[in-house]
Amino acid sequence: MDSTVVRDVMTVEPPSATEDASFRDVVRTMVNHRVSALPVVDRDGRVVGVVSEEDLIHKEEFTGDDDYSPPLRARLRARLSGTGAASSAEKAGANRADQLMSRPAITVLPGTSVARAARIMERHGVKQLPVVAEDNRLVGMVTRRDLLTVFLRNDEDLAREVHAELVAAIRPVKGEPPALSVDDGVVTLWGTVERRSLAQTLVRRVSHLEGVVDVVSDLDWRIDDVVPEYVHWRGESW
């Protein structure tokens, strides 16, 4: 199976906001479409930023006490984000999408792997990513929930792919692949292989397959060729 890419799981033609959209229009669009963020596009449909619930909530955050100051944690997060985002107080006073949005937008291409998209989300601390064409025009939106769908693969399909991966890994040493079972995405391997290092390789390769939740190894080996980490040879006599 080819790796799942963003276009396979994204929402096509997602709701968006124009740069001059009012605060109320942005909120209305998010509520009506039940989304937590909106890409902001220019008149040519190119993504210029993203407005999230976090950007909008500052207006409520600063309502009331005039001497309120955001927690240090929030100020540090804004400083370290490196996105040139406006301060919490500035966003609290904003009334248009181009004043509210975080910029530049962190985006992905349709052909980006879901694994890479997940890493981008984690690195930038975002829950969704606009999907853009090569010319930066909006073509979709992908969320954390979308990326999680790779773990819903049918166990039978996953078992076939795991078996194929084991056969490919064993082929150079001309052995028989271990037995396997898959239950709710958890792969169990058992049997005997020639070397302990091969058993470790098999577990690692299977764990990297898309949709594998976990790997339980009941593998045994004839030769333990793995040197314990605590053994260090320094060229001295024992």
Q: Are strands 37-41 and 17-18 parallel, antiparallel or unpaired?
A: parallel
- Are residue 133 and residue 161 in the same domain, yes or no? no
**Which residues have C-beta within 8 Å of that of residue 238, sequence separation ≥ 6?**
none
What CATH number is attached to the domain comprising 10?
A: 3.10.580.10
Last residue of a domain, one of 150, 165, 189: 150
Quote the domain boundaries for residue 219. Answer: 155-223
Within the chain, strands assigned E span 11-12, 17-18, 37-41, 47-52, 128-132, 138-143, 179-183, 186-195, 214-223
Do residues 229 and 23 make contact, with C-beta atoms less than 8 angstroms apart? no
Render pLDDT for 141-181 as a digit per residue (tens, 0 to 9). Answer: 999 999 999 999 999 999 999 999 999 999 988 889 999 99
Q: Look at the pTM and tell me if it is higher than 0.75.
A: no
Rounded to 5°, the CA angle 234-236-238 comes to 110
Residue 18: count of CB within 10 angstroms of its CB: 16
Residue of 67, 122, 76, 130 whose CA lies nearest to 102: 130
- Are residue 79 and residue 106 in the same domain, yes or no? yes
Distances from the Cα of 219 to the Cα of 73, 117, 122, 163, 225, angstroms: 47, 33, 34, 15, 15
What CATH number is attached to the domain comprising 219?
A: 3.30.1340.30
**Which residues have C-beta within 8 Å of that of residue 153, sequence separation ≥ 6?**
185, 210, 211
Using left for φ > 0, alpha for ψ between -120 and 50, and beta otherwise, residue 174 falls in: left
Mean of the per-residue pLDDT values for the chain? Answer: 86
Distances from the Cα of 80 to the Cα of 2, 62, 75, 132, angstroms: 36, 22, 9, 25
Sign of CA dihedral 83, 149, 6, 216: positive
How high is the pLDDT of residue 84? 43
Last residue of a domain, one of 150, 178, 213: 150
Q: Which range is least confidently modeled, 55-59, 106-110, 157-161, 204-208?
A: 55-59
Render pLDDT for 42-52 as a digit per residue (tens, 0 to 9). Answer: 999 999 999 99
Residue 112 pLDDT > 90, yes or no?
yes
Q: How far apart are CA 170 and CA 148, in angstroms?
A: 30
How high is the pLDDT of residue 78? 52
Do residues 140 and 47 make contact, with C-beta atoms less than 8 angstroms apart? no
Residue 80 pLDDT > 80, yes or no?
no
- Are residue 31 and residue 146 in the same domain, yes or no? yes
Last residue of a domain, one of 104, 122, 150: 150
Q: What is the DSSP letter of 113?
A: B
Q: Is residue 230 domain-resident?
A: no
- Are residue 133 and residue 169 in the same domain, yes or no? no
How high is the pLDDT of residue 149? 92
Do residues 8 and 111 make contact, with C-beta atoms less than 8 angstroms apart? no
